[in-house]
Amino acid sequence: GENVEQHPSTLSVQEGDSAVIKCTYSDSASNYFPWYKQELGKGPQLIIDIRSNVGEKKDQRIAVTLNKTAKHFSLHITETQPEDSAVYFCAASSSTNAGKSTFGDGTTLTVKP
Amino acid sequence: DGGITQSPKYLFRKEGQNVTLSCEQNLNHDAMYWYRQDPGQGLRLIYYSQIVNDFQKGDIAEGYSVSREKKESFPLTVTSAQKNPTAFYLCASSMDRFSPLRNTEAFFGQGTRLTVV
């Protein structure tokens, strides 16, 4: 089955700096890669996603890049703000596997004011 | 408002008791999922269902049971056979299985925190 590894497990940055979280996956059939943000005591919410036919996608301060050959994808947050502090999860899924997602273990991002 | 609702938010269970967590969605999604989240860890799949009256085991199904009698509802029972049930449980749903984009984002509920006392 799919295996997703996420690094780092914790990340602390100064407000205004950039943050980068990286994930690798093992199943070459995976073709959908969402990123979720989870605030304390709440369920995860999608912040950005990318499909395997695209190498990069951007939405304001958030961007995701995908390298299919190397089987890794990354989340980039620029101009970080204290409200970006949360746990971020990457995931990978394949349309041939019932659409189930395999999640990374999460990255706790802290943005210091 | 469309969404996915889990109840209760907090649940306490005595050892040896079964307990059922509720999950309801009005998004008209076909697929529903149950995940378990332990502190500092990712989401582990317990059970999932792609269609009414059908469900499949996930990675950690032992000690849990589910039913899918209605499209909108996917309750999870934590049985006394589950050795370490204290955790945060998340229900999710995703869209139409007939869509050309079969794998799409999952919409999560707000979770149920289960504590065994």
Q: Are B97 and B50 in contact (CB under 8 A)?
A: yes
A52 has a chain B CB within 8 A of its CB: no
Picking from B43, B58, B108, the nearest residue to A45 by CB comes out as B108
Note the Cα B78 to chain centre separation in Å.
Answer: 11
What is the distance between the alpha carbons of residues B14 and B18, in angstroms, rounded to a whole number?
9
Query: Which of the residues A30, A53, A101, A107 would you substitute to probe the B interface, choosing the one with the greatest number of B C-beta atoms within 10 Å?
Result: A101
A106 has a chain B CB within 8 A of its CB: yes
Q: Which residues of A touch B107 (CB under 8 A)?
A: 46
Q: Mind listing the pLDDT tens digit for each residue in A12-70?
A: 999 999 999 999 999 999 999 999 999 998 999 999 999 988 899 999 999 999 999 99
Q: Mind listing the pLDDT tens digit for each residue in B9-61?
A: 999 999 889 999 999 999 999 999 999 999 878 899 999 998 999 999 999 99
